[in-house]
Structure 1
Amino acid sequence: MSFTRVWVSCAVLLASTALQHQAFAAPASRPAPPPAKPVTETHFGTKITDPYRYMEDEKDASVVDWMKAEGRYSRAFLDALPGHADMLSRLSAFTGSFDFVNSIQQAGGRTFYEERSPGADNFDLLVRNPDGTTKKLVDVAALRAANGGKAMALNYFQPSQDGSKVAVGLSEGGSENAKLTVIDVATGKTIAGPIERAQFGANNWTPDGTKMFVHIFQELAPGASSINKYKNSRTYVWDLQNPPVPVLGKGVGTLAFTEDEFPLIATTPGSDLALAISANGVQNEIALWTAPLSDALKPNVAWKPLAARSDDVTNAAISGNRIYLLSHKDAPTFQVLSMEAGQHISDAKVIVPAQPGRLIESISAAADGLYVRARRGVYSELFKVPLDGGPEQALPLPFKGSISELFADPREPGAIIQVEGWTTPPTTLAFAPSTGQFTDLKLGMTPAGFDPKQFRIEDLTAKAADGTAIPLSYLTAAGGTHPRPLLLWAYGSYGISQFPGFGSRVNMTLREGIDYAVCHVRGGGELGETWRLGGKDANKPNTWLDLIACAEDVIARGYTTKSMLFIGGGSAGGITMGRAMESRPDLFAGVFDLVPSANPLRMEFSLSGPANIPEFGSIKTEQGFKNLLAMDSIYHLKPGTHYPPIMITTGLNDPRVSSWEPAKLTASLLASGTKNPVLLRVDEDAGHGIGSTKTQSDELYADILTFIKWRLAQNGGVASAK
């Protein structure tokens, strides 16, 4: 069942004498600052003046021209930094030496997966046949070449239940505007599609592979505001030959949906049961109904209620006619419920109870049992329970790390996992219940000579302002001396967790003598629902205060200093970056604010704003306005304050954080009078980063590392050699 809710050598001297004395010539001039055109509004007795409201007009060519000009200035600034070209070359070579695999699925004896092979710029879709042979089903490089070289990305895929066909979603320029096509696996030829506006891949096959349930967004009328793009979506039945027919959504079928809800239909191999799902934008909790799969193909089906959104269900799995639900109702670390088809959640029994200190993340049903992915702290555990309930069977992992993927087929025994660590590349393993052992599927490749033991991982805690212990993951050179330069990362929204995961660019950071750390701030989901709510709504200030606490902690430990400490985060993590920087401008040597949500007061009037109201609230309510005001980076800038050097990024095709938010933040910082550099890095052929090519990601990270080195050279900061 698939549905979507809509992340070798020792360290070297960082700043050598040659680097510190190498000349840096900033570009002679930057574009003229944009004019202020103040708009003043009063919300619940508070006056808000917005000097750059006009930037929100997507039809204002002058704003786009200014952003592009700022982007060219920033590009020239970054290119002129000492060692930039060499850094990009070395980073590209290192990241290109790995063979990465993800999104593993099995069907009909075949294994489907995405792979970015060494030296490749994109992830392609491959299939491994039962005889061990492999075939590339989607070659993104070839598609790009046929499309004038324009950046393209494989956004999702879904094989039919017998593995004979696969549905794929492809988009251009980081836009995530995926078009859906169907490929015959045996021949590799496209046999159906494209279907437009099938963006998030919430598609499911019927058992015979002749039809699909496809979630499609509405086609906007000419001149309509883009804010309506994600409204009034529907699920359709598509027979691969004729136009899709709507069966679920606002104005279709027997269930009532609001314009902002996403109506989905999910199927499960081996089951004649269908689930109707209401996904309320970014909200984790879903509403569910059931019906016979044969009835779900028609719009007049009598869906039977299974769970309301207030039942706090976030995940579901099916085996035959048995339904399993993951819920945090009266269970902040989550519990697993079980019931028969036709029953309501009120009839469910608990088969995996919640435990303090153990966070249940996801469930997946196989023929031999229900596989459960859980956490203690930030590290994964895997266990299995009988399908009808019973004792838990622990399945020890090969190393201390994170299960980034879990796949099981209700028709087959066993499960596939992908496990990785902060410095350990992903390994794909198949668990066989007949032997009780994991087998390496030999997918992906780590370059010869790569040694994770050259780095040390410390699991620390920092004390927040209110006394709460904040988990802090710290990566440094094994045997290295301190203080050292540090890049401290944080996020803190939607209950999304920053669990141990291997990143080749993070490992390049360590190889450059720069430590890396993650502050697991409240608002994320690391410690369960209580942790998420501790950084949400009126509690949102805890998110950036937790980051400040982590920063002060590592300084107090002697691990780094203010002149060597950099913070980074993106998207909703931009709230964390902006407010931490404004609260403590003295604390950081630099800030990386990537595709940031910088203007929450105006977020709901952006493309994806309505879908984010469940997470951040609305200015239409007094408490919502107060919450949004507290987290708005632009509103809290103070004229005359010298903020740390900051690099802000945007992709002009970003569907998640509209480019006007980073643009308004840049304009506001320039107007504040801060003396330190303010850069707006603009990628005109990218979006939110999802779907960016390896080259685009390498270029961004090379800019980050070179910026750190330049700033350290200014401050006299030198990393310890190892």
Structure 2
Amino acid sequence: MNYRSLFLLGVIISLLSSQSLKAQGPPLKYPITKKIEQVDNYHGTKVADPYRWLENDVRNSAEVKDWVEAENLITNAYLAEIPERVKIRKRLAELWDYEKFSTPVVRDGKYFFTRNDGLQNQAVLLVQDGLQGKPRILLDPNTMAKDGTVALSSWIPSDDGKLLAYGIAEAGSDWHVWRILNVDTGAQLVDELRWVKFASPAWTPDAKGIYYSRFDEPAAGTKFQGLNLNQKVYFHKVGTAQSEDKLIYKRPDHPEWGFQTEVTEDGKYLLITTWKGTDHNYRVTYFDLTKKDSQPVDLIDNFDNEYSLVGNEGSTLYFKTNYKAALHRVVSISLEKPEPANWVEVIPETKEALQGASLFGKQFIASYLKDARTLVRMFSLDGKTSSEFPLPGIGTAGGFGGRQNASETFYSFSSFATPPSIYRYDLKKGTSEVYRTAKVKFNPDDYQVEQVFYPSKDGTKVPMFITYRKGLKKDGNNPVLLYGYGGFNISLTPSFSVSRIAWLEMGGVFAVANLRGGGEYGDAWHKAGTKLLKQNVFDDFIAGAQWLINEKYTQSSKLAIQGGSNGGLLVGACMAQRPDLFGACLPAVGVMDMLRFHKFTAGRFWVDDYGSADNEDEFKAIYAYSPYHNLKNGTRYPATMITTADTDDRVVPGHSFKFAAMLQECNKGPNPVLIRIETKAGHGAGKPTAKILDEVADQMGFLYKNLGMKPE
């Protein structure tokens, strides 16, 4: 009998055994996962990797496919025994069933936006003529796949609003196929651009073509796991085959560099922003499109700082930058005199972290974070006059896009207990009005949001938002779900989530910790949670958990932690370091093997935040917290449900597979260790609504059972 047959037989025996023992409470019987002799030498340190084979692509490996099916059998059987899960799924669907809109994008009198009628698997793209026009459907991805696994990843209308470029992603993949359609007729053009990843195209002002970046076609068998190298910039003429595209820019001397294209609103300049990681430090190269056969000119020839284009006035370009401004500012650069000594500060650095800026209607709108809450200011074109932009309350605002001749802009606003609304701001009147608002079947007045600041291990004050039902008793008996991320300069701000409302209705408390590594307080806050300082992030999260216990919000047995991607790493590292502190853990699509992450797909870009095992000093820091390598045999770990997708091509599922296998091997005691593996899904973007509801119901059901919750 071969290994595959033995493996599946073992699964069936394990499943029957676990069901028969359920009433007595012993540990679950997991599938026996094969171990191999694999030892790597890192700078003189030998490191075992017995589950290396689980890195193999499930599409190509029968062994991995069998393992996935076996683990899902165990997980599904366990979840099926939680009757409250069905009720949670029903309530989630009720809460989710409301109209959802994106902020409109306006081009030459046409208003483009997406809408989901409530429970559609994917949002639909619509267009209307004028502010009060009748919307009509341009693209409905729900018609492209019965199971909802084809998503509209991005879309960009031409300046005249007559053509639309849009990207399609299948099964959550980061690979997008771009196509073009005629907005007036809805007709699909012949154009199809493949092998596009981590880039959006830029239209020429005359809508005759687009500039875009793409990779070469991957070698057979490497599409979903191979490293992404040698991205190039092309010009595509509308109505032609991709094979006819003109190569515009490449850097074979730096195969790790990536490129993003932008065309200034007046069409005079093509800007190529070059990046080599996730640290937001860019080179900037431009082409003068007014000149025939224009050659690239390096405007910024180093990766020392961030430079994000805000807009331009002729040959004067405006950039948001952290050059000599850790909290960021806006400067103007003249292409005639581009030396830094000639730069002009337009919007100076303030005490708050500048998150973004827009230039339209001959003025700037700048968005800041003040203690992780959005603050918006308006500035004149020379930056000499400014005013506060009134927001509906404390929360998160986004949008504020527009063209130079715009008379209006749209923005969204939401908070933890405030469903999203879209506002229209009239630039001439200086007033906002509600354009669209979400109508969710719950009462926001029932809930309270507070912000606290707690000390981390080294004394650093860390902000945390806490949301709960009014009248909460701080007696240490409340189930608390603590969420975190702490990386890549990403800020966690107050935002609305149906899954969180469902959790609150279950009697839970929801907390979000703004950890170092994020962008809440600018570059210094981010750098304090990277590379050799990454342990600060875990210390911050652990300190937040301990604070919630000390302040009687909860106790260890009723405290759960959750995070996804880099947040999955956060959960994995913290449960490995303090397994006694948590009652349940939900690591999602996490980076769990910190010694090998840079060898797959986009992993090499993350070296800016994590460092690399190829560097001896960084290896020591990484090895000390890598979740997969720091699980200890014979330890009682919290109840854990790992979630991932079998076709995630960003954080490859091998991370979660290996971590689950190691955790099942090491865990001592009755707490379950499950892995829920979604099929035909990726890292999370574009996931169908039905799959989202199923996953959240499973997670909430798992917490309900393992935190000892009772029906509300």
Tell whether the structures are fold-level matches, with TM greater than 0.5: yes
Asked if structure 2 preserves the Cα contact closer than 8 Å seen for 1:324 and 1:336, the reply is yes
Q: Distance in 2 between matches of 1:387 and 1:495?
A: 28
Q: Post-superposition shift, 1:341? A: 3.3
Q: Post-superposition shift, 1:29? A: 7.4
Match of 1:290 among 257, 274, 286: 286
Asked if structure 1 preserves the Cα contact closer than 8 Å seen for 2:174 and 2:650, the reply is no
Match of 1:240 among 238, 241, 246: 238
Which has the larger displacement, 650-659 or 331-340? 331-340
In the alignment, does 2:604 pair up with 1:610?
Answer: yes
Asked if structure 1 preserves the Cα contact closer than 8 Å seen for 2:141 and 2:148, the reply is no
Asked if structure 2 preserves the Cα contact closer than 8 Å seen for 1:282 and 1:614, the reply is yes
Question: What runs of 5+ residues in structure 2 fail to find an aligned partner?
Answer: 1-21
In the alignment, does 2:704 pair up with 1:709?
Answer: yes
Q: Post-superposition shift, 1:285? A: 1.5
Equivalence map 1:444-523=2 (5 Å): 445-447=438-440, 450-482=442-474, 483=476, 484-523=478-517
Structure 2 vs 1, CA of residues 200 and 111 (structure 1 numbering), >3 Å: closer, same or farther?
A: farther
The corresponding residue for 1:692 is: 687
Residues 296-343 of structure 1, C-alpha deviations (whole Å, 9 max, x = no match): xx8x63222222444412421113323111112332211111123344
Match of 2:676 among 670, 681, 684: 681
Could you say what secondary structure the match of 1:62 adopts?
A: helix
Could you say what secondary structure the match of 1:191 adopts?
A: strand
Equivalence map 1:378-397=2 (5 Å): 378-397=372-391
Which has the larger displacement, 86-95 or 565-574? 86-95
Q: Distance in 2 between matches of 1:248 and 1:436?
A: 43
Q: Distance in 2 between matches of 1:225 and 1:507?
A: 38
The corresponding residue for 2:8 is: none
Q: Post-superposition shift, 1:399? A: 1.8
Which AA in structure 1 matches 2:278? V
Equivalence map 1:622-661=2 (5 Å): 622-661=616-655
The corresponding residue for 1:261 is: 257
Asked if structure 1 preserves the Cα contact closer than 8 Å seen for 2:196 and 2:213, the reply is yes
Q: Post-superposition shift, 1:540? A: 0.1
Equivalence map 1:340-419=2 (5 Å): 340-344=334-338, 346=340, 347-356=342-351, 358-419=352-413
Q: Distance in 2 between matches of 1:27 and 1:61?
A: 31
Q: Distance in 2 between matches of 1:84 and 1:718?
A: 12
* C-alpha RMSD of the superposition: 2.1
Q: Distance in 1 between matches of 2:259 and 2:601?
A: 19
Could you say what secondary structure the match of 2:189 adopts?
A: strand
Which AA in structure 2 matches 1:307? I
The corresponding residue for 2:566 is: 572
Which AA in structure 2 matches 1:159? P
Structure 2 vs 1, CA of residues 243 and 25 (structure 1 numbering), >3 Å: closer, same or farther?
A: farther
Which AA in structure 2 matches 1:93? E
Q: Distance in 1 between matches of 2:73 and 2:24?
A: 15
Q: Post-superposition shift, 1:480? A: 2.3
Question: What runs of 5+ residues in structure 1 fail to find an aligned partner?
Answer: 1-22
Could you say what secondary structure the match of 1:530 adopts?
A: helix
Q: Distance in 1 between matches of 2:24 and 2:687?
A: 30
Structure 2 vs 1, CA of residues 405 and 25 (structure 1 numbering), >3 Å: closer, same or farther?
A: farther
The corresponding residue for 2:123 is: 123
The corresponding residue for 1:14 is: none
Structure 2 vs 1, CA of residues 275 and 225 (structure 1 numbering), >3 Å: closer, same or farther?
A: closer
Asked if structure 2 preserves the Cα contact closer than 8 Å seen for 1:107 and 1:161, the reply is yes
Q: Post-superposition shift, 1:371? A: 1.2
Structure 2 vs 1, CA of residues 120 and 227 (structure 1 numbering), >3 Å: closer, same or farther?
A: closer
In the alignment, does 2:102 pair up with 1:102?
Answer: yes
Q: Distance in 2 between matches of 1:25 and 1:411?
A: 71
Asked if structure 2 preserves the Cα contact closer than 8 Å seen for 1:257 and 1:263, the reply is no
Q: Distance in 2 between matches of 1:225 and 1:415?
A: 40
Structure 2 vs 1, CA of residues 453 and 589 (structure 1 numbering), >3 Å: closer, same or farther?
A: same
Which has the larger displacement, 308-317 or 592-601? 308-317
Q: Post-superposition shift, 1:572? A: 0.9
TM-score (normalizing by structure 1): 0.90
Q: Distance in 2 between matches of 1:466 and 1:378?
A: 21
The corresponding residue for 2:268 is: 272
Q: Distance in 1 between matches of 2:554 and 2:391?
A: 33
Q: Post-superposition shift, 1:138? A: 1.0
Residues 389-414 of structure 1, C-alpha deviations (whole Å, 9 max, x = no match): 31222111122211133312223244
Match of 1:319 among 309, 312, 320: 312
Residues 415-452 of structure 1, C-alpha deviations (whole Å, 9 max, x = no match): 3211111111111122222111013222x5313x6332
Asked if structure 1 preserves the Cα contact closer than 8 Å seen for 2:27 and 2:672, the reply is no
Q: Post-superposition shift, 1:651? A: 0.6
Identity across matched positions, percent: 25
Q: Distance in 1 between matches of 2:422 and 2:90?
A: 29
Asked if structure 1 preserves the Cα contact closer than 8 Å seen for 2:418 and 2:496, the reply is yes
Asked if structure 2 preserves the Cα contact closer than 8 Å seen for 1:307 and 1:313, the reply is no
The corresponding residue for 1:139 is: 140
Q: Post-superposition shift, 1:494? A: 0.4
Residues 568-605 of structure 1, C-alpha deviations (whole Å, 9 max, x = no match): 00111122111111111111000000011111111011
Structure 2 vs 1, CA of residues 94 and 229 (structure 1 numbering), >3 Å: closer, same or farther?
A: same
Asked if structure 2 preserves the Cα contact closer than 8 Å seen for 1:404 and 1:420, the reply is no
Structure 2 vs 1, CA of residues 341 and 419 (structure 1 numbering), >3 Å: closer, same or farther?
A: farther
Could you say what secondary structure the match of 1:187 adopts?
A: coil
TM-score (normalizing by structure 2): 0.92
Could you say what secondary structure the match of 2:657 adopts?
A: helix
Which has the larger displacement, 587-596 or 186-195? 186-195
The corresponding residue for 1:16 is: none
Equivalence map 1:576-595=2 (5 Å): 576-595=570-589
Q: Post-superposition shift, 1:142? A: 1.6
Q: Distance in 2 between matches of 1:239 and 1:24?
A: 67
Q: Post-superposition shift, 1:375? A: 1.5
Q: Post-superposition shift, 1:224? A: 4.9
Asked if structure 2 preserves the Cα contact closer than 8 Å seen for 1:268 and 1:274, the reply is yes
Which AA in structure 1 matches 2:280? N
The corresponding residue for 1:83 is: 84
Asked if structure 2 preserves the Cα contact closer than 8 Å seen for 1:319 and 1:366, the reply is no
Structure 2 vs 1, CA of residues 225 and 155 (structure 1 numbering), >3 Å: closer, same or farther?
A: closer
Q: Distance in 2 between matches of 1:404 and 1:77?
A: 41
Q: Distance in 1 between matches of 2:135 and 2:513?
A: 41
Q: Distance in 1 between matches of 2:168 and 2:319?
A: 31
Work out the number of aligned pairs and report it.
681
Q: Post-superposition shift, 1:495? A: 0.7
Residues 537-585 of structure 1, C-alpha deviations (whole Å, 9 max, x = no match): 1100011110010001111111111111100001111221111111111
Residues 71-92 of structure 1, C-alpha deviations (whole Å, 9 max, x = no match): 2221221122132222212211
Q: Post-superposition shift, 1:257? A: 5.7
The corresponding residue for 2:15 is: none
